Structures are given as structure tokens and as C-alpha cells.
Amino acid sequence: MKPDQYVVIGNPISHSKSPAIHARFAELAAQQLDYQGLLAPLDGFAKTVHDFVVAGGKGANVTLPFKLEAFALATELSERARIAGAVNTLKFESGRMYGDNTDGIGLVADIVRNAGVSLRGKRVLLLGAGGAARGALLPLLQEQPATLTIANRTLTKAQDLLEQAKSLSTSCDLQAYCFADLQQPFDVIINATSASISDEVPPLADTVFCKTTLAYDMMYAAAPTAFLRLAASQGALCRDGLGMLVEQAAEAFALWRGVRPPSAQVLTEMRAALQASQE
């Protein structure tokens, strides 16, 4: 019998690590499935999804630039997808198209489970107010930090996200700032800006870091990003977004298959492969 078919849809797509991650999950969890990268034309996301569903596809991950279109296309949404306004996971079942957003829950799983850093009662700084920051908002608040500060280059976007956060939590102390006004230290700083892609770092005062700060960059690369280099120079603990990538994939896999894959093992293997690629 043909195995169940899954894809990650994006443009471009050839760089995606998702096919390798899901193939390894399937192997370790003894699941029969096929998972491929699928390039959609920039103006053809809905048709690409439709054709895949007609061909019997069971589910899809969605990556840049289609997360907003996937949100619009889904016929049902999880609460976290509704709040994020973006979908990275689709499940096709009995004519339904269920949309979820596993990015934020993957981030929290990597910080709490893999790094062993609790967010409860902590002072958390979220840098950025784009799609990744929106996806992280609800899962972060569900961990009950003492404070959540949102800082963004464009202050009005941080303020919009702050209003959304206020509607989700009454117990957390919530603030929005521009980068230059941040002076106080934080326990956890999450870089959800795309500055790292161009090896830039938001203009942060040294005083936001202390020796016990966890500095987390959602981006990952073989070498530390500019943000992580800055954090390390201030003595902070550093972690990149490879674990977030693996954990968001694990959440999607669990949604589709009803089985939780051994994500920590796959993360260890992916880390080794990333380091080997640098040597």
C-alpha cells in the first residue's frame, strides 16, 4: 500500500530541512509515510494545495511566503493559529482543512524541555513583531512569565502586539518599547527579528543581558548569529533556533500521526550534521 503523503510547501523550498527531519521522525517512530518538499508558484499556493489534496495528500507544512495564505485557506483553525494570524501546518481529513501554528509551541518546547529553562515567573523580552513573534505570543504567555516586554524597530507594530497580548493575559506585566529605550536586564531574550539573516543585530544596550540571561535567536546557522555573538560577549547563555525548527516539526508530526517522535534525539543528530557542514 502507498504510504501517506505529506509535503512542505514554500518558495523557495530546496533549502528546507523539514523532509530530512520528518523522514527521521518516521523512521524512529516506525511510521509509514512519505514527506517531500513542494515548490509552489508565488501566485499558485491555493492551487498547489488543492492538487495535493485531490491526489490524496494527508497534510502539509507551510513555509515562506505562504503562511498567511494558508491561514486564509484553512476551513478550521487552532486557537494559536487564529491568534498568530498564520498557519504553518495543515491537516486534510474528510474534506476539512485544519490549520495550526506550531512555531511558537516549538519555541517554548525547545526553551523549557530541551534547554531546561522555565519561563514561569521570568522577565521575558521578545524582539520583533512579525509573523514569528505573533506565533510565539500565546505559547509564551501560557508559560506565565512575570513580565513580557515586546520591542520592535517599528514601535507601532510592537504596540499592536501588546494590545493582543493584553487580551490574552491579565496576570503578566506587559510592555512595548523601541530597542533604544530598553535598559533593564531580562531573564530570557528571544530574537524574533529577521536581522540575523543579514548578520545584523537590533541596537540593544549591554545592560539588557546578565550572566543568567538565556539569549535565544530563532534563526540558526552553523556559526553563531550577530545577536548570539553580542549576547555571548555579555556572558549570557546562548541558544539558536534549530531546536525550535525540530520541535515545531514534532508538533506537526504528532498532529498528523497521533504519535510523538523522539525530537531530542533528532535535534542532537541535526546539530551534529550542522556542525559537520562547517568543518
Please give the residue ranges that form the binding site for ligand NDP (CB under 6 A).
Answer: 103, 128-133, 152-154, 157, 192-197, 200, 202, 218-220, 241, 244-245, 248
Residue among 50, 28, 29, 37 nearest 9 (CA): 37
| Nearer to ligand NDP (CB atom), residue 94 or residue 198 | 198
| Nearer to ligand NDP (CB atom), residue 141 or residue 270 | 270
Q: Shortest approach of ligand NDP to residue 193 CB, angstroms?
A: 3
- Which residue matches cell numbers 549570557? 236
Beta strands per DSSP E along the chain: 4-10, 33-39, 59-62, 76-77, 89-93, 96-100, 123-127, 147-151, 173-177, 188-191, 214-217, 237-240
Residue among 226, 233, 244 nearest 208 (CA): 233
Q: How far is CA 196 from CA 36, 92, 201, in A?
A: 27, 34, 6
The grid coordinates listed for 83 are 491568534
| Nearer to ligand NDP (CB atom), residue 75 or residue 265 | 265
The answer to whether the bond into 65 is cis (omega within 30° of 0) is yes
26 within 8 A of 59, measured Cβ to Cβ: no
- Alpha-carbon span 110 to 119, nearest angstrom: 12
- Alpha-carbon span 247 to 102, nearest angstrom: 8
| Nearer to ligand NDP (CB atom), residue 153 or residue 229 | 153
Catalytic residue numbers, as ranges: 67
| Nearer to ligand NDP (CB atom), residue 146 or residue 155 | 155
For residue 124, give the 3-state DSSP assignment: strand
What are the helix (H) ranges across 118-218? 131-142, 155-168
| Nearer to ligand NDP (CB atom), residue 23 or residue 68 | 68
- Alpha-carbon span 88 to 45, nearest angstrom: 13
Q: Shortest approach of ligand NDP to residue 5 CB, angstroms?
A: 23
The grid coordinates listed for 93 are 481529513
